[in-house]
Structure 1
Amino acid sequence: MSTIKRLPDSEFNVLKIIWHLPNPVTSAQIIEQLGEDNHWKPQTLLTVLARLTEKGFLESTRKGRERHYTALISEEEYLAVETSDFLNRYKGNSLGNLAKTLFAQQQLSEQDIADIRSLLNQK
């Protein structure tokens, strides 16, 4: 995959489940993790899985009557792209501007501040 593109929420939610299950996974395992509250129909899930496969996020192999899906990109790789894209779009690619916004709106807990301090000290 040359360039990682941002995924729609439905595709991201399915991929997130796949990342947190031992790979490869089946659509039945994914439906089970989605739970009844999400009201996913099997055909809808198969369409989303096909899209993720076409986009290069998943590998699909047939074993008997079922398809098995394996993630081709890690959660960390995808989230790094998402974070970079977010910073670029909303804060002019400035981590400092993002931090100022968070502090101004008092969105950081004491634990958040301690975690940030620790990260800065490691740098």
Structure 2
Amino acid sequence: MKKVDCKISDAEWIIMKVLWEEAPLTSAKIIEAVSSHKKWSPKTIHSLISRLVKKGALGVNREMAHYEYYPLVDKRDCILEETRSFIQKVYDGSLHLMLANFIKDEKISEKEIEELQKLLDKKIDE
């Protein structure tokens, strides 16, 4: 998958998650998957698909009787970009401030603390 700008709206993320899970899919299959947890009209979903195609996040196979859509961007790349954007916007780019606020304000289990410690220890060893 190519690396592209992953500026994807919250609504578009829902479409992308469906296609990252299973692709290629026709618009009918995407509508079916999205409609199971969102009350959006098919026209709204078609609009979101079209926007994602224009942005270069989705590709479309027009050789089929019913067009099939597939992701052109990697889920992990988009998650990383979204995370960086969030940290920059909310915490002025400070990962330390974000983690400190999260750890201070959230209820974290002992198991989660151990998992975080393992991640930090692994990062030190790199």
> TM-score, normalized by length of structure 2?
0.85
Counterpart-to-counterpart distance in 1, 2:73 and 2:3: 11
Query: Which structure 2 residues correspond to residues 37-116 of structure 1 after superposition, within 5 A?
Result: 37-116=37-116
One-letter amino acid of the counterpart of residue 76, structure 1 = R
- 1:107 Cα deviation (Å)? 3.8
**Separation in 2, partners of 1:118, 1:2:** 30
SS of equivalent to 1:112 = helix
RMSD: 1.8
- State the distance in 2 between where 1:71 and 1:19 align: 7
TM-score by length of 1: 0.87
Contact 1:102/1:108, CA 8 A, preserved across alignment: no
Structure 2, unmatched stretches of 5+, are none
Q: Mean Cα displacement is larger for which, 73-82 or 25-34?
A: 25-34
The whole-number CA distance in structure 1 between the counterparts of 2:19 and 2:66 is 16
List alignment gaps of at least 5 residues for structure 1. none
State the shift of 1:108 in Å.
Answer: 2.6
Which amino acid in 2 is paired with 1:74? Answer: D
Give the deviation of 1:103 after TM superposition: 1.9
CA distance, structure 1, for counterparts of residue 37 and residue 95 of structure 2:
36
- The alignment covers a number of residue pairs equal to 122
Q: Distance in 2 between matches of 1:5 and 1:58?
A: 11
Residue 7 of structure 1: aligned partner: 8
Higher RCO structure (Cα 8 Å, ≥6 apart): 2
Per the alignment, in what secondary structure is the counterpart of residue 67 of structure 2? strand
- 1:34 maps to 2:26: no
Cα separation, partners in 2 of 1:47 and 1:80, compared to 1, 3 Å: same
Q: Which has the larger displacement, 111-120 or 30-39? A: 30-39
Question: Is residue 4–residue 73 contact of structure 2 (8 Å, CA) maintained in 1?
Answer: no
2:68 alignment partner, SS class: strand
Q: Which moved more, 1:74-83 or 1:90-99?
A: 90-99
